[in-house]
Amino acid sequence: MQVRNAVIPAAGLGTRFLPATKVVPKELFPIGDQPALQIVIDEALGAGIDHIIVVSNRNKPAIEAYFKPNDELIGKLEDSGKTELADRLRSIGRDWRATIVYQDNPKGLGHAVGCAQEAVGNEPFAVMLPDEIMGSSALLAQMNGVCSSTGGSVVAVAEVPRHQVSSYGVIDPSGDLSNDGVISVKDLVEKPPIDEAPSNYIITGRYVLTADAWGEIAALQPGRGGELQLTDALKAQAARAPFHAVLSDVSRHDTGNPLGFLTASIELGLVNPELQGDLRTFLGNLEY
């Protein structure tokens, strides 16, 4: 079954980016000429998803404004012959559907995702953490395929040095890694102490979950840090149903912090045909 819905949790206040986030949500910071959020949406659309559910917060009205048609601006662009740009603006939310739901109390990632249940309904869905920019739909498309062939939920994982595991959700794999990077998962644990981590495979910000995860999300109790953790819902799911991880080698940037944002801007600039030539020259001439 093709996954059609993607939930993008974007209710956080972006405190690591203050004062920049005082007015502009970090999901709308530009990478090249695109808001980071649009890059994540394009990744979803490239994997066949056509309904984007953004979990926002009422203190971030700019997110909602991004999805609203702006006929006046489009008219002005057309009048001045900028039809390509006008088309690009018109396409936001035209060939796909955007729904905004609200998480007004920050109770954790599991709670944020739970706020999207009604909008998604009884179907499998992707969860895409917008702090992570992948720049390609290949990983999500592969995860969709694994979800439909196994009938179970799938998380993306990356292998990291041991000292980093405590900042992430960690999987406990069972069996061997297949040639295409798929591994069966028997347990998941949120931010374990280093000596209790069951592996060096951390959960990165992409999930494809079967609809029965909603029950486990609704039943969540406070976990690590007193928050309702998505990882704990998946732990319960993996204990009773097939569950897999896909080891990702796509380059990924954590744009939740200023350095990650810079590296994402540089890497995506280096693959953008309009920017790459001058950017390469600039970087090559840098003296420091």
Return residues touching ligand G1P (CB under 6 A): 109, 129, 132, 168-169, 190, 202-205, 229-231
Contact (Cβ atoms closer than 8 angstroms) between residue 250 and residue 156: no
Residue nearest to ligand G1P (CB): 169
Nearer to ligand G1P, 124 or 223 (CB): 223
Question: Residue 161 or residue 273: which is nearer to ligand G1P going by CB?
Answer: 161
The candidate with the shortest Cα–Cα distance to 183, out of 193, 172, 194, is 172
C-alpha to C-alpha distance for 44 and 8, rounded to whole angstroms: 10
Tokens of 206: 């992409």
Of residues 114, 109, 135, the one with CA closest to residue 125: 114
Give the pairing of strands 5-9 and 125-128. parallel
Contact 108, 228 (CB under 8 A): yes
**Residue closer to ligand G1P, measured from CB, 114 or 205:** 205
183 and 245 Cβ atoms separated by less than 8 Å: yes
How near is the Cβ of 16 to ligand G1P at its closest, in Å? Answer: 11
Tell the smallest beta-carbon distance from residue 263 to ligand G1P (Å).
15
Q: Give least dist CB 100 to ligand G1P, A.
A: 20
Least gap, CB of 19 to ligand G1P (angstroms): 22
Closest separation between CB of residue 173 and ligand G1P, Å? 15
Question: Which of residues 90 and 191 has its CB atom nearest to ligand G1P in the complex?
Answer: 191
Nearer of residues 74 and 143 to ligand G1P, judged by Cβ:
143
Q: What's the distance, Cα to Cα, between the start and end of the chain in Å?
A: 52
Nearer of residues 41 and 245 to ligand G1P, judged by Cβ? 245
- Sorted by sequence, the CB contacts under 8 Å of residue 72 that are 6+ apart come out as none
Report in angstroms how near the CB of residue 190 gets to ligand G1P at its nearest. 5
Contact 208, 147 (CB under 8 A): yes
